[in-house]
């Protein structure tokens, strides 16, 4: 059986697993697989079962991440890890994360069917809690694996039920005491490469009329989930010169950040600004009152650590200017951050060469989203990603990845692994 035939033969397996994780997370109109909850854990069990059918060795680490290892009888180099996540946002889509884990399973199945034996171990990782919605902190599984949890993270409460991250990890078979030691569960120097397949989160591949892209970099981010703007409550008839309007200060801050975004992109420095929360106090706001209190959130993204630091400096200057002009206090509050994830040049070239051998159009593009790959790249692990065409973005019920496009990505991944084994 040729390698191409072996990949094609995995289509029923891929579809069965996609349908399986969808059923486990069904939450009309979308999919909800709660991190460290029944849906995510059931998806881990489904993937583990698929691994056992391929004679892969399963293990669970202290962060409750699942590893499925295909051992090489003549391992000559450090292992290659293929990973992603199985949790979702609330009523999101089925493919964000899950497609990447399933791609790893399918690639190993295809290599086995084609009789290709790798010269290093290949491992599939199902990483826990990639989505920040559950603890206000994203990429938790890979943070656990690589000792990149920020101070106090294990005490964060879960968005559903309030169980701490530490208790959530225990409930899924992990060991937070080991995580508190602050040393990696896997030495990054002992990992040969980390590869991730992920649906695209902007319609760049729809625009390019291509099924798959080779990722150049993932953005890092700085996040402030609860920015508090404090002004003064007042009557709606109060003249402008007397007002300290928290709501208009929030609008000013948002529009100033958008102007920054447009200027940076015009200068060839890609970035992104997202305002997710944006509201007055629902318990007190009124048609006939000037708002003295306003809450908003900010996700600030950039592809280079120095650029991201510069953007954070610009944020501070904008906040100071708006606060002074509007006569309000702006408190940025809690901060979290994820490092940018530049992909390894050799892996970029290798994945591009694999696509070329297969005759698959695969432009090189930046990813709009941060992924577990960021943590591996930041830890010094050679990292690569493939992005799969997906018309309607992610984090919504309308994710529109087609299975043939995922199979194209699996073909590129498998061809890369086969040549890596040569």
List, as residue ranges, the binding site: 85, 96, 131, 198, 395
Closest CA to 80 of 128, 125, 112, 130: 125
Neighbours of 150 (CB within 10 A): 12
Looking at 147-306, which runs of residues are DSSP E strands? 193-199, 212-215, 217-218, 220-230, 234-235, 271-274, 278-280, 289-290, 293-302
CB 278 within 8 A of CB 250: yes
For 76, residues 6+ apart whose C-beta sits below 8 A from its C-beta are: 119, 120
Say if strands 57-60 and 364-365 run parallel, antiparallel, or are unpaired: unpaired
Say if residue 397 is exposed, middle or buried (CB neighbours under 10 Å; 0-12, 13-18, 19+): middle
CB atoms within 10 A of CB 392: 15
The burial class, CB within 10 Å (0-12 / 13-18 / 19+), for 269 is middle
Which segments are annotated as binding site for Zn(2+)?
85, 96, 131, 198, 395
Cα(274)–Cα(17) distance, rounded to whole angstroms?
Answer: 33
């Amino acid at each position: 059986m040729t390698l191409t035939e072996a990949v094609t033969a995995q289509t029923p397996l891929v579809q069965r697993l996609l349908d399986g994780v969808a059923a486990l997370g069904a939450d009309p109109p979308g999919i909800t697989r709660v991190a460290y909850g029944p849906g995510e854990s059931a998806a881990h069990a489904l993937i583990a079962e698929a691994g056992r059918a391929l004679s892969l060795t399963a293990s669970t680490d202290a962060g409750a991440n699942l590893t499925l290892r295909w051992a090489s009888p003549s391992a000559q180099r450090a292992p290659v890890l293929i990973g992603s996540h199985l949790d979702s946002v609330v009523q999101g889509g089925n493919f964000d994360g899950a497609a990447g884990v399933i791609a790893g399973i399918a690639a190993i199945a295809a290599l086995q069917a084609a009789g290709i034996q790798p010269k290093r171990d290949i491992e599939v990782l199902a990483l826990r809690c990639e989505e920040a919605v559950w603890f206000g902190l994203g990429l938790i599984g890979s943070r656990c694996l690589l000792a990149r949890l920020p101070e106090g993270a294990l005490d964060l409460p879960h968005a559903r039920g309030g169980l701490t991250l530490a208790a959530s990890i225990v409930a899924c078979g992990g060991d937070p005491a080991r995580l508190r030691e602050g040393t990696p569960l896997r030495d990054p120097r002992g990992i040969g490469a980390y590869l991730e397949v992920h649906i695209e989160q902007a319609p760049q591949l729809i625009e390019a009329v291509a099924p798959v892209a080779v990722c150049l970099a993932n953005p890092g981010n700085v996040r402030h989930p609860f920015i508090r703007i404090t002004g003064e409550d007042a009557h709606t008839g109060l003249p402008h010169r007397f007002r300290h309007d928290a709501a208009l200060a929030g609008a000013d801050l948002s529009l100033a950040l958008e102007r920054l975004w447009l200027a940076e992109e015009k200068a060839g420095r890609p970035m992104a600004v997202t305002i997710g929360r944006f509201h007055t106090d629902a318990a007190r706001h009124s048609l006939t009152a000037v708002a003295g209190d306003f809450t908003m959130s900010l996700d600030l993204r950039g592809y280079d650590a120095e650029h991201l630091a510069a953007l954070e400096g610009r944020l501070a200057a904008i906040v100071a200017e708006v606060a002074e002009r509007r006569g309000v206090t702006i408190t940025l509050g809690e901060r979290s951050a994820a490092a940018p994830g530049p992909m390894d040049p050799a892996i970029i070239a290798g994945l591009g060469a694999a696509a070329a051998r297969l005759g698959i159009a695969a432009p090189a593009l930046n990813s709009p989203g941060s992924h577990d790959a960021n943590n591996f790249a930041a830890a010094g692990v050679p990292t690569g990603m493939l992005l799969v065409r997906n018309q309607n973005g992610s984090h919504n019920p309308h994710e529109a990845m087609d299975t043939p496009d995922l199979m194209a990505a699996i073909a590129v991944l498998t061809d890369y692994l086969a040549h890596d084994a040569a």
